[in-house]
Chains A and B, each alone.
Chain A
């Protein structure tokens, strides 16, 4: 059974650019959550999607957005990148919510 797949694994972007990260959940999982992990702030919840609807949202600025497709795959977008957006972005999936399985993440570096 394939796990949660995140692409790309590594990304380097310039300040002011935008970026889109992709997440393919475990087959059959309908809930997808995104977390930001940094050494200073730890693991912070970004948002959760369930059946293409955003169900929960964390305390991040509007530059951070996401969406979920009918096949449960999800994307998150960060516009107008700032140096402080450098982080490991983690996607997690579950059947209905809870018992989340995480992917290996996308390491975003903003220069």
Chain B
């Protein structure tokens, strides 16, 4: 059973645009929602994470928006750059991240100059 659904599968955005990646979860016991960035040949790297007691969190050009009632969260990348081209994964966990991560299927993002 896929517990975290991620969309779109791929996304092409012009430099300076704001790509948005969406995720939806089913398990209401999830209470920790991180986003990971993965470049080819590398492992996923933690970008930013949010807990359900806040609706938005910003770190640099990356913003997570969280809608607890809809069980959805999204990643926005402001002023996107070609160097942001990577695969992005949302994930969810229980016990504030102390249990296993359940990952979305990933979004391949391409930023064109």
Judge whether A90 is part of the interface by a CB distance below 8 angstroms: yes
Q: Which of B36, B41, B44, B46 has the most CB of A within 10 A?
A: B44
Output the least CB separation between B38 and chain A (Å): 8
Contact yes or no, A97 B89, CB < 8 A: no
Q: Which of A4, A48, A100, A104 has the most CB of B within 10 A?
A: A100
Judge whether B100 is part of the interface by a CB distance below 8 angstroms: yes
Checking B32, B95, B98, B103 against A42 with a beta-carbon cut-off of 8 angstroms, the contacting residue is: B103
Chain A residues, CB < 8 A from B46: 99-101
Contact yes or no, A42 B101, CB < 8 A: no
A residues 56-111 with Cβ under 8 Å of B? 56, 58, 90, 92, 96-105
Contact yes or no, B97 A98, CB < 8 A: yes
Question: How many residues of chain A have a CB within 8 Å of chain B?
Answer: 22
Q: Is the interface of A mostly helix, strand, loop or mixed?
A: strand
Q: How many A-B residue pairs have CB under 8 A?
A: 54
Q: Which residue of A lies closest to B105 (CB)?
A: A42
When chains A and B are docked, how far (Å) is the Cα of A64 from the Cα of B31?
A: 28
Chain B residues, CB < 8 A from A48: 100
Judge whether A24 is part of the interface by a CB distance below 8 angstroms: no
When chains A and B are docked, how far (Å) is the Cα of A81 from the Cα of B32?
A: 34
B residues 59-113 with Cβ under 8 Å of A? 89, 91, 93, 95-106
Interface string of A1-19 (1 = CB under 8 A from B): 0001000000000000000
Contact yes or no, B44 A90, CB < 8 A: yes
A-B contact pairs, 8 of them (CB 8 A): A33-B101, A42-B104, A42-B106, A43-B106, A98-B97, A98-B98, A101-B46, A104-B41
Q: Which of B's residues lie within 8 Å of A, judged by CB?
A: 32, 36, 41-46, 49, 89, 91, 93, 95-106
Q: Which of A's residues lie within 8 Å of B, judged by CB?
A: 4, 33, 35, 42-45, 48, 56, 58, 90, 92, 96-105
Q: A4-B43, A58-B100, A97-B99 are in contact. List 15 more A-B contacts (CB 8 A).
A: A33-B100, A42-B105, A43-B44, A43-B91, A43-B101, A45-B100, A56-B99, A56-B100, A90-B44, A97-B98, A98-B96, A101-B45, A101-B46, A102-B36, A105-B43
